[in-house]
Amino acid sequence: MSRPEAAGRAMPAWMAQSVLVICLLASFAVPFSLVALREAHQDRVWQATGMSGAEIDDWKKENIAVRMAVRWRNAGFKPPHATIWINSGFGSEPEEAGKWNDQGVWPNEARYWNEQAFSADEGRAWMEQGFHYSEASDWKRGGIGPADAAARKKNGEWPPR
């Protein structure tokens, strides 16, 4: 092949450089655009909740999804407080966590009551009678309610085993 024939087939340097620049720009622009579109959609979903921008940022910082953030907020929690309850085992139960929280029960204590199969309302009834979750659990397994257990305990009885 002679030199003039090869030159006719080769791409000019400026064109090769242009193609390279276009490919580099596209490799950045396409993913960036897709991420920007996804974030815009998520922002619309967050804004539809009626939360303020600062509140949305707080929930996002805690890495809590939109639907769960709404449930936690409706149960009376703000982001950092919700995270404490989530880490204590109430991740999918914001309403139950809210009931415990309304009674002034700390997350870890509520978790222990919950692990013993007490709802917040049951736990409150037992706590009002002066019982700790481990003792209340023993009485409950024996089929005895909180008021009856308190009376029996006052008379020196122990929970049935």
Residue 61 lies in a domain: no
Residue 33 lies in a domain: yes
Pull the structure tokens for residue 147: 């008021």
Q: Are the C-beta atoms of 110 and 128 separated by less than 8 Å?
A: no
Instruction: State residue 37's pLDDT score.
Output: 74
Residue 2 lies in a domain: yes
Q: Could you give the angle at which helices 133-141 and 146-154 cross, rounded to 10 degrees?
A: 100
Residue 43 lies in a domain: yes
Residue 141 lies in a domain: no
Residue 56 lies in a domain: no
Domain range spanning residue 30? 1-48
Residue 120 lies in a domain: no
Quote the number of domains for the chain: 1
Label residue 150 exposed, middle or buried (CB < 10 Å: 0-12, 13-18, 19+).
middle
Q: What is the DSSP letter of 143?
A: T
Residue 63 lies in a domain: no
Pull the structure tokens for residue 117: 């199969």
Considering the chain, what is the average pLDDT of its residues? 89
pLDDT tens digit sequence for 32-74: 777 767 776 667 888 889 999 899 999 999 999 999 999 999 9
Percentage of residues of the chain with pLDDT beyond 70: 92
What's phi and psi for 10, nearest 5 deg? Answer: -75, 150
Residue type for position 74: N
